[in-house]
A = this chain, B = another copy of it.
């Protein structure tokens, strides 16, 4: 209730869902408690870091035992608000858009796409996983009427800014952007960019360095 609003580091926020997912599978094995040492071993992370991350959710562990998995899962659900459903709109029903629509895993994180929009008349009217594709013109109006706060952009680069503007006009406050575009938003609107090229670049650069260093010929020693 009177929880103080503390700043949580972004790297921590990104790791927490990882723990959550992992803990779900551990709980399914019948285990009741788990230590950071154990988690760290399975997830290839340092125990002190895990402890620090988990502390942000407000949970306490016990020496010699660790954390109650069920309590921990509840803390994480509370922390992120995953027990309440966030309804979202998706714009752009191309390859990525379709994959997002079909992805089942989101409901675990309290996230649900309730309508999709596209400007292509060929796709408007179709349905994917019970979500109907509507013409883009209907977006702003429906946003405000349904009080939607999250929008997903999966359009081409050049349509992205315009779509974002329409979303904001309709009252959307958080934009999850999959288009390779730098979208400008006013203060008070959150933008989260997903960028496949970034991950690919990191991977290929590391691989390049590995190949150059010649280590790739060595036997694996642990």
Hey, which bits of chain A sit against chain B, CB under 8 A?
A: 5, 8, 10, 13-18, 21-22, 25, 42-44, 79-81, 86, 95-96, 98-99, 102-103, 105-106, 109-111, 149-150, 157, 173-174, 176, 180, 182, 184, 186-188, 190, 192, 194-213, 215-216, 218, 220-222
Give the contacting residue for A18; candidates B182, B200, B209; CB below 8 A: B182
**How far, in whole Å, are A159 and B189 apart by their CA atoms in the complex?**
39
Report whether B221 and A18 are in contact in the complex, using a CB–CB cutoff of 8 Å.
no
Report whether A199 and B216 are in contact in the complex, using a CB–CB cutoff of 8 Å.
no
Given A188-B215, A222-B187, CB of A200 within 8 Å of CB of B180: no
In the complex, the count of this chain's copies comes to: 2
**How far, in whole Å, are A96 and B67 apart by their CA atoms in the complex?**
34
Which residues on B sit within 8 Å (CB–CB) of A5? 209, 212-213
**How far, in whole Å, are A220 and B44 apart by their CA atoms in the complex?**
43
Report whether B109 and A103 are in contact in the complex, using a CB–CB cutoff of 8 Å.
no
**How far, in whole Å, are A79 and B18 apart by their CA atoms in the complex?**
32
Report whether B44 and A202 are in contact in the complex, using a CB–CB cutoff of 8 Å.
no
Which residues on B sit within 8 Å (CB–CB) of A25? 157
**How far, in whole Å, are A218 and B203 apart by their CA atoms in the complex?**
42
Which residues on B sit within 8 Å (CB–CB) of A14? 195, 198-199, 201-202
